[in-house]
């Protein structure tokens, strides 16, 4: 594990120095600050609007950070041929892939923590107060990023950064529509046609990112059940593990 942590640390420092990271973080913080202006539109509900927009901004911008950096990390290593020197130092491919994954995920978690702290501070300045539901919403974003990070690494091992970024964004949008897909198939009830079986197969194969959407509980009278939070956590760990295994399988077959 020492080799994995060494690569993760180098990846973390590499990403932190990337200017794209600071640009995206700046826009996320700016969105949190500007959410107050939009909150004025909703009289008596401005704090709820601030919370919703801030959490949505944190989710979107950390997604951008993960996708843009995750799809180019390994690609740049291959293009600059630095990967060859890394693998020549008694570092195996699983060490390399896992190190890249944990380094990028650590960066994403740090961004969520930093933006979340900014959001909580801003909320206090506006006369509101952080809640358990808001903390759970941030935790859900972290779980989602764990899956998206492993997905972006897998796709970056199969295709170009641009195409892998496009596919990741498409799967992100699809992942948040899985419950709609399930309800559509159940309500249609066409008697088990091939199309229905195909759609339900997609429902179980593709990542269901709505499992991590705790933002809907902000301002709600009740919190999500502990069983739901536990299921979401185990789902993220299991799905990320499967994607990482597939990524390792791809890199084992690569000729470098």
Q: In the predicted model, what is the mean pLDDT of the chain? A: 79
Instruction: Give the model's pLDDT for residue 32.
Output: 65
CB 119 within 8 A of CB 35: no
17-70 pLDDT, tens digit per residue, is: 666 566 666 766 676 666 655 555 554 456 777 788 888 888 888 888 888 877
CA end-to-end span of the chain, whole Å? 22
Q: Rg (Cα) of the chain, in Å, rounded?
A: 20
Residue 105's domain comprises: 2-253
150-162 pLDDT, tens digit per residue, is: 998 888 888 888 8
d(CA 98, CA 157): 13
Instruction: Give the model's pLDDT for residue 89.
Output: 66
For the chain, give the longest Cα–Cα distance.
Answer: 63
Q: Quote the number of domains for the chain.
A: 1
**Residue 188: band (very low, low, confident or very high) from pLDDT cuts 50, 70, 90:** low
DSSP string, the chain: -HHHHHHHHHHHHHHHT-HHHHHHHHHHHHHHHHHHHHHTTSTT-HHHHHHHHHHHHHHHHHHHHHHHHHHHHHHHHHHTTHHHHHHTSS--HHHHHHHHHHHHHHHHHHHHHHHHHHHHHHHHHTT----HHHHHHHHHHHHHHHHHHHHHHHHHTTS-HHHHHHHHHHHHHHHTTHHHHHHHHHHH--SS-HHHHHHHHHHHHS--GGGG--GGGTT-SSPPPHHHHHHHHHHHHHHHHHHHHHHHHHHHHS--
DSSP string, 75-101: HHHHHTTHHHHHHTSS--HHHHHHHHH
**Whether the predicted pLDDT of 179 surpasses 90:** no
Residue 162, sorted as left (phi over 0), alpha (psi -120 to 50) or beta, turns out to be alpha
CB 7 within 8 A of CB 94: no
């Amino acid at each position: 594990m020492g080799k994995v942590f060494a690569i993760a640390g180098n990846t973390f420092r590499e990403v932190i120095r990337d200017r794209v990271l600071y640009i995206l973080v700046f826009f996320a913080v700016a969105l949190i600050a500007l959410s107050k202006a939009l909150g004025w539109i909703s009289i008596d509900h401005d704090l709820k609007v601030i919370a919703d927009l801030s959490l949505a901004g944190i989710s979107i911008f950390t997604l951008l950070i993960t996708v843009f950096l995750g799809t180019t990390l390994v690609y740049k290593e291959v293009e600059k041929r630095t990967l060859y020197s890394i693998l020549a130092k008694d570092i195996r491919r699983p060490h390399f892939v896992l190190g890249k994954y944990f380094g990028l995920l650590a960066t994403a978690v740090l961004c969520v923590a930093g933006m979340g702290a900014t959001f909580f501070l801003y909320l206090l300045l506006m006369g509101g107060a952080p809640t358990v539901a808001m903390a759970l919403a941030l935790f859900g974003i972290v779980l989602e990023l764990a899956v998206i990070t492993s997905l972006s690494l897998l796709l970056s091992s199969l295709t170009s950064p641009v195409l892998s970024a496009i596919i990741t964004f498409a799967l992100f949008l699809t992942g948040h529509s899985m419950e709609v897909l399930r309800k559509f198939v159940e309500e249609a009830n066409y008697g088990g046609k091939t199309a229905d079986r195909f759609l339900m197969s997609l429902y179980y194969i593709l990542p269901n990112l709505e499992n991590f959407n705790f933002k809907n509980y902000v301002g709600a009278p009740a919190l999500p059940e502990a069983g739901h939070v536990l299921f979401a956590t185990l789902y993220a760990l299991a799905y990320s593990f499967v994607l990482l295994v597939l990524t390792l399988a791809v890199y084992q077959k690569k000729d470098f």
